[in-house]
Amino acid sequence: MYRSTFLASQTAERILREGRMIDPNETPTRMVERVVESVVSVERKFGAARSAVEKFADEFGSHLDKKDCVMSTPIINNAGRYAGRPLSACTVPPVDLNQDISRIKKIVDRLHADAMGTGFNLDSSRDPIGVLKALNAIAVSGARSGREDRPVGNMAILSSGHRDILDFIDVKVGGDKKGEEWKFNLSVNASDEFMEAAKRGAPYRTSGGKILNAQDVLHRIVSSAHACGDPGLVFLHRMEADNPTPGVGHYVSTAPCGEVGLAPGETCQFGYVNLGNFVVRNPSGVPKVDFGKLERVARLLTHVLDNALELSIERYGEKESRSIMSAKRKIGVGVCGLADLLVKLKIPYASREGRELARNIVAFVNYYSKIESFELAKKRGSFGAMRLPAGCRYNELPGFIETKYGNLETPEISGKDWISLGEKIRETKLLRNASTTALPPTGRSALVIDATPGIEPLFPLNDYGGVVNRNLMDDLRARRLDTPETLRAIARSGKIGDILGIDSDVKSIYSTALEIAPEDHLKMVHVLQRAVDESISKTVNIPEATTPEEIMKTYLAAYDLGLKGITVFRTGSRTIQPRELAKP
């Protein structure tokens, strides 16, 4: 049995205990041990020798202990703790939204108790607003019941051309003042036709025959987002264009934070590489990225997540989920700690150098996750849909990888590397997982290893003691500014550079989410979108003084850049903020 040496910080242990990710009497080291034991148990199913199982356990556990990687909260929460629960993070429940709500409630309650978030497309509902409110009531009731260890998220999507689109746009506006509690994120599925009509100020026809001005509708979306953070925009047709297996299901909704497209019954399972731990110094003392270690951990997480999925498939309550996940075996190797990495390398987040390095790293992780998936398929077989005569894009000529990544050139992985890999997969029909990478928000998982979340810039936090960023502490100590007064000042203002009194070049390295211009948030998503299979969870955090007109520019820029979705959050627009940001 693996013996963990994981050392949780005070903040991490508080996250684990308050979030009920560990049992009251369980230690963080025991949490790591049970996760390792559970995930590694799958090796025996595929005939691995005892020595190989022990070696895999040691490698996995060691990287968890060193905080080189971390698993998603459902895996931390469930693995080795609840024998019947899947280890998946989210799903689109395969339900008819026009059936009796009590039947839907039974399914959603079980999924939420299993620590899975849910996504819904309301287009097929006869009463989308009524159904949304009923689904939200289910989510609120479940959260209050005490049955849910994890505060799960939910997504509701309605098409821009739906007859009830205006009511959907406005449904959360003023909710805080009315005492409403919402457990749903909202997104409008915006078609190209709608967006182009909005640019021209042209009319369009909804499904009910009503004629609306597209520009007026987009202004209404923006006004609501300004008021309460919802709705965002999602471009499902762009997600579907990257669906590697349309023959087994089209994307109808997304995960709660928009990081993956999902067909009915489809689920997602995530693990994250902690990029801040991959900075080393060359013989001259210059910091650089350790790509050798990054390759090893990217491949390890691919293997680990395939094991986690194997456990999950046996435990899904819906046969549709068992079927589609056997056909696709989709996993999501993601990243956290990007801001940590850039700070260590003294590279500003809002810089071309920062974006290009981020793309290089994500492309590298993606490439080696697929190398590992190819090797796993030799021993375990390919995802089921690979055998389809049509409907699996890996079998097309050119195939999915050549089409999507053949023109992606980075310093570490060339377009020719991608093309060669795609050709090898098509010729051998070997690939264990139809998708291998996604960029979720990482939420509490990143906090468990004291890392910055996802691909986000630095957040000056008012919670968890107000500590801005663990990698900033070295600079603060060197300047003898690591006093409680300084930390509180930074947490209140968010203007780290001004507080420290450092020059503009260094100050830009420590720019926080609210100090970075919206276009620089979008540019980061834009460059990373080409390097990842699925979508990206990324919120454009904006200051309280931001106007609706400025949000309109951000939404239109996201569309024009080819992004798959856009969400903004204006500081102070909600009584309870998803992550309390210090005001600039």
Residue boundaries of the structural domains of the chain: 10-84+269-428
Which residue ranges in the chain fall short of pLDDT 70? Answer: 460-507, 575-584
Phi, then psi, of 168 in degrees rounded to 5: -65, -45
Its sign, for the CA torsion 155, 159, 163, 167, is: positive
Q: How much is the pLDDT for 492?
A: 53
Question: Of the candidates 316, 303, 312, which has an alpha carbon nearest to the alpha carbon of residue 380?
Answer: 303
Tokens coding 393:
């894009």
Q: How much is the pLDDT for 573?
A: 86
CA distance 386 to 432: 9
Are 327 and 248 spatial neighbours (Cβ–Cβ below 8 Å)?
Answer: yes
Question: Of the candidates 471, 481, 478, 465, which has an alpha carbon nearest to the alpha carbon of residue 510?
Answer: 471
Tokens coding 400:
């999915």
Half-sphere exposure of 175 (CA within 13 A, CB side): 21
Q: How much is the pLDDT for 533?
A: 96
Question: Of the candidates 581, 526, 550, 552, which has an alpha carbon nearest to the alpha carbon of residue 238?
Answer: 526
Q: How much is the pLDDT for 479?
A: 62
CA distance 62 to 81: 20
25 secondary structure, DSSP code = T
User: pTM to 2 decimals?
Assistant: 0.92
**Coil, helix or strand for 83?**
coil
Are 229 and 568 spatial neighbours (Cβ–Cβ below 8 Å)?
Answer: yes
Topology given in CATH for the domain delimited by 10-84+269-428: Anaerobic Ribonucleotide-triphosphate Reductase Large Chain (3.20.70)
Phi, then psi, of 434 in degrees rounded to 5: -65, -35
Are 238 and 562 spatial neighbours (Cβ–Cβ below 8 Å)?
Answer: yes
pLDDT tens column, 199-233? 999 999 999 899 999 999 999 999 999 999 999 99
CA distance 514 to 226: 15
Cα angle value 513/409/411 (rounded, 5°): 80
On average, the pLDDT of the chain sits at: 91
**542-549: long-range contacts, CB 8 A cutoff, minimum separation 24:** 542/514, 542/518, 542/568, 542/569, 542/570, 542/571, 543/514, 543/570, 543/571, 543/583, 543/584, 544/570, 544/571, 544/572, 544/573, 544/583, 546/226, 546/570, 547/226, 548/219, 548/222, 548/223, 548/226
Give the CA radius of gyration of the chain.
23
Phi, then psi, of 567 in degrees rounded to 5: -135, 135
Name the one residue in this structure whose structure tokens are 């970075």: 516
Q: How much is the pLDDT for 503?
A: 47
Burial classification of residue 41, based on how many CB atoms lie within 10 Å of its CB (0-12 exposed, 13-18 middle, 19 or more buried): middle
Q: How much is the pLDDT for 499?
A: 52
Name the one residue in this structure whose structure tokens are 């709660």: 256
